[in-house]
Amino acid sequence: MVKVLITGGAGFIGSHIVEKLLQEGYQVIVVDNLSTGNKSFLPKDIPLYTVDIQSSELHQVFKKEKPEIVIHAAAQVDVNSSINNPQNDASINILGTINLLNCCHKHKVQKIIYSSSCAVYGVTEDCSVNESFPISPLSFYGISKSVAELYMKAYHSLYNLNYTVLRYANVYGPKQSILGEGGVVSIFCKNILKKEDTIIYGNGQQTRDFVFVKDVAEANIRAITKGEQQIINIGCNKKTSIKELYQLLLSLNSILFTTQSPIYQPKRQGDILHSRLENTKAKIILNWEPNYTLREGLEETMNYYRNELSI
Ligand SMILES: NC(=O)c1ccc[n+]([C@@H]2O[C@H](COP(=O)([O-])OP(=O)(O)OC[C@H]3O[C@@H](n4cnc5c(N)ncnc54)[C@H](O)[C@@H]3O)[C@@H](O)[C@H]2O)c1
């Protein structure tokens, strides 16, 4: 049985990866400091080490568990927090990643799969972006994610540690945080279900490429055996404006509340205007393509929050 250690396994995306790993027969170990993650997202019998990826304790976990594969999904994920506190963002996303890479090297891990982000591109034009598009992050978060990618590459050339970098588009689905700076889909779902006001930053015409979390988890499984030393976009190559997204979510709710029109506020710093990922490389190299249409994914997400919020 192949042993996989996943950082951030108690988080939104990480917990879906854990679920898929178990379905596929992998042995799973989770490292998560539970800063934004939730223990209840994990099955009870999964070993969970409540350890910070920046801590020296991480080496003890590797020494004890000897994982063959590492999936690195732990991070400071909030763009706004990165603007307010770039040092904290860099400590977790860069220094934490280096600590993890050191553990992988010292404990002879075969491969690391890194959860990167479309935030590394920072494009403002309305076009589909492939992996050779120039890196030009608009936020400190985008910078820290792209620097960690470079460390993956260097650990390979220096120490032969295999890696695959997956650059996710906007991921949405069940278990995403509805608090503060959580995902736009989960926050809109909560607002619609609880009949609360929704704020849209900017004019709502900004577009995103929404990819369902179960499709993202599947991409990670494929990357265990494919895509060595590759950077691969994981998105649907479809654009949806924030305004359209809100309308679509409203239409999924059986009762339409005409009063639920959004409140517009000024655009936030560091926010990308348009983001859409070309996904041909994922199709060719990982044999991956999205299984869920946006409507299907949003329906599953809305149902999840309906249950969670008991509505
Ligand atoms: N959600 C998205 O749309 C999206 C898009 C692109 C990339 N990503 C990347 O995917 C990964 C997972 O993001 P998510 O949306 O599931 O966020 P999340 O906050 O739900 O998950 C992050 C997990 O990492 C843990 N964590 C944070 N700092 C840690 C530390 N120092 N040590 C140990 N554990 C720590 C948290 O407790 C949490 O469980 C991140 O690397 C993020 O950058 C997410």
- In the chain, the domains with their CATH numbers are 3-122+129-172+211-236+276-291 (3.40.50.720)
Q: What is the pLDDT of residue 272?
A: 78
CB-based contacts of 78: which residues, under 8 Å, 6+ apart?
Answer: 141, 180, 181
Q: What is the pLDDT of residue 202?
A: 93
**Rounded Cα–Cα distance for residues 263 and 254 (Å):** 22
Which residues pair with residue 44 across a beta bridge?
Answer: none
**Rounded Cα–Cα distance for residues 276 and 226 (Å):** 23
Q: What is the pLDDT of residue 255?
A: 58
**Rounded Cα–Cα distance for residues 243 and 263 (Å):** 11
**Rounded Cα–Cα distance for residues 209 and 305 (Å):** 21
220 lines ligand 1 (CB under 6 A): no
168 lines ligand 1 (CB under 6 A): yes
**Rounded Cα–Cα distance for residues 14 and 6 (Å):** 7
For residue 165 the two structure tokens come to: 């970098």
Q: What is the pLDDT of residue 269?
A: 76
**Rounded Cα–Cα distance for residues 163 and 155 (Å):** 9
Place of tokens 């891990």: 109
Look at residues 137, 136, 40, 39 and name the one whose alpha carbon lies nearest to residue 89. Answer: 137
275 lines ligand 1 (CB under 6 A): no
35 lines ligand 1 (CB under 6 A): yes
Q: What is the pLDDT of residue 125?
A: 81
Q: Which of 32, 51, 77 to mutate to test the pocket of ligand 1 (most atoms within 8 A of CB)?
A: 77
Three-class SS of residue 94? helix
* Helix axes 184-194 and 294-308, enclosed angle (nearest 10): 50
Q: What is the pLDDT of residue 139?
A: 92
Burial of 182 (0-12, 13-18, 19+ CB in 10 A): middle
pLDDT by 10s per residue, the chain, length 311: 999 999 999 999 999 999 999 999 999 999 999 999 999 999 999 999 999 999 999 999 999 999 999 999 999 999 999 999 999 999 999 999 999 999 999 999 999 999 999 999 987 788 899 999 999 999 999 999 999 999 999 999 999 999 999 999 999 999 999 886 669 999 999 999 999 999 999 999 999 999 999 999 999 999 999 999 999 999 999 999 999 999 999 998 765 555 578 999 998 876 778 899 999 999 999 999 999 999 999 999 999 999 998 87
Q: What is the pLDDT of residue 181?
A: 62
Q: What is the pLDDT of residue 254?
A: 64
**Rounded Cα–Cα distance for residues 222 and 133 (Å):** 23
The answer to whether 8 and 73 are in contact (CB under 8 A) is yes
Q: What is the largest CA-CA distance in the chain?
A: 59
The answer to whether 57 and 51 are in contact (CB under 8 A) is yes
Q: What is the pLDDT of residue 135?
A: 95
**Rounded Cα–Cα distance for residues 234 and 237 (Å):** 9
Q: What is the pLDDT of residue 268?
A: 83
- Active site annotation includes 141: yes
Q: Fill in the DSSP letter of residue 284.
A: I
Nearest CA residue ID for atom 26, ligand 1: 74
